[in-house]
Amino acid sequence: MRIAFVKCHGSGNDFPLIDARALALDEAEWARLARALADRDGPVGGDGMLALTQGDDRHAFGMRMWNSDGSEAETCLNGLRCVARLGFERLGLDAARVRLKTSSAEVARDPELAPGVATVRTIVGPASTATADVGLNIAAAEVIDAPIDGLPSARRFTAVAMPNPHLVTFVERIDEGELVGLGQWCEAGPALVPARANLSFVELREGGLFVRTFERGVGLTDSCGSAMAASVLAAGLTGRVAMGAEMLVYNKGGLVRGMASADRVVTISGNATFEWDAEIEVDLAAEHAGPVRVLARRADEIAAWDAALAGLRRVPG
């Protein structure tokens, strides 16, 4: 089958993005398509695959996101910005309510993060701190800045569902080896967290946060939007940052503006960059993607994002 898509990224989190409103596939086929397109050794590659889907009487449109292993995520805020932008362009909107897998989000065009950088604001929540919602099999009703019984780490974590599950800990300095080891333990689906979880180590930096994440179904990633949102909320819940205060949230892929409110609603504003438009033939049965036919390159957008990164006061990571 021939698939048209846009290669996009939010804060360096890159995806093939499909307008799937007229595309009818079963769940197994969606998973195969995601594995074929997001394969880093294939012709496209990405941290996952995004789809713009039909809306309903409460939502202008919907979003679905699959990780590169074919598993579907409840949400992906970097991806949501890209899907929102495509929805705005296809439907002639500036703001919308979006249907996610298990929840909804408010999205809107926002002032540019930097010159020429398309920027979208996302509002999600209220997030949950119930351990049942995070998927933790423990007796405690919630975990806020406390060790987690059964987790092979003595660090103090905050567990939040955005609605996808996140375990966030604040550290003096990020040890990637420790992060990867603990992330791989979670990725194995242990009895403590059988549905797995996203794991983030966060440093407090001047003016904001620096986040490093082992993403469920992906691994160590340069950027995870929902992890940045979870980290903003965790910073507020633990008193490290005042609720309602806007901050910059950095990662290896770039940065976003973030803010959490006392009612656990999180606002994230960041780029939704479209790099190129293309089409490709995909054999779903074989999970094989053929050569890419690039229809248009968006060189101005790529240059604008590169300039934005070069002009930032970079936070070393």
* Nearest residue to 80 via CA among 101, 59, 65, 66: 65
Stated as kind and residue range, the H or E segment containing 311 is helix 299-311
Is 226 part of any known ligand binding site? yes
Catalytic residue among 8, 82, 186, 224: 224
> Residue 304 carries which side chain, given as an amino acid letter?
A
User: Which residues are within 8 A (CB) of 51 and not within 5 positions of it... i.e. 6 or more apart?
Assistant: 17, 18, 19, 20, 23, 30, 63, 64, 65, 83
Is 72 annotated among the ligand-binding residues? Answer: no
Q: Is 67 known as a binding-site position?
A: yes
Of 216, 182, 213, 181, nearest to 196 by C-alpha is 216
Asked if residue 279 belongs to a known ligand binding site, the reply is no
Asked if residues 53 and 99 have their Cβ atoms less than 8 Å apart, the reply is yes
Bond preceding residue 194 cis, omega within 30 of 0: no
To the query of whether residue 186 is one of the catalytic residues in this protein, the response is no
- Is 76 one of the catalytic residues? yes
164 assigned binding-site residue: yes
Q: Give, in order, the Cα–Cα distances in Å from 76 to each of 29, 31, 98, 116, 310.
A: 21, 16, 12, 23, 25
Q: Find the catalytic residue in 8, 76, 82, 186.
A: 76
Closest to 37 in 3D by CA, of 89, 2, 10, 78: 2
216 is an annotated ligand-binding site residue: yes
What does the CA dihedral 147, 265, 270, 196 come to, rounded to 10 degrees? 40
**78 among annotated binding-site residues:** no
> Could you list the active site residues?
76, 224
- Which residues carry a binding-site annotation for substrate? 13, 67, 164, 198, 215-216, 225-226
- Which residues carry a binding-site annotation? 13, 67, 164, 198, 215-216, 225-226
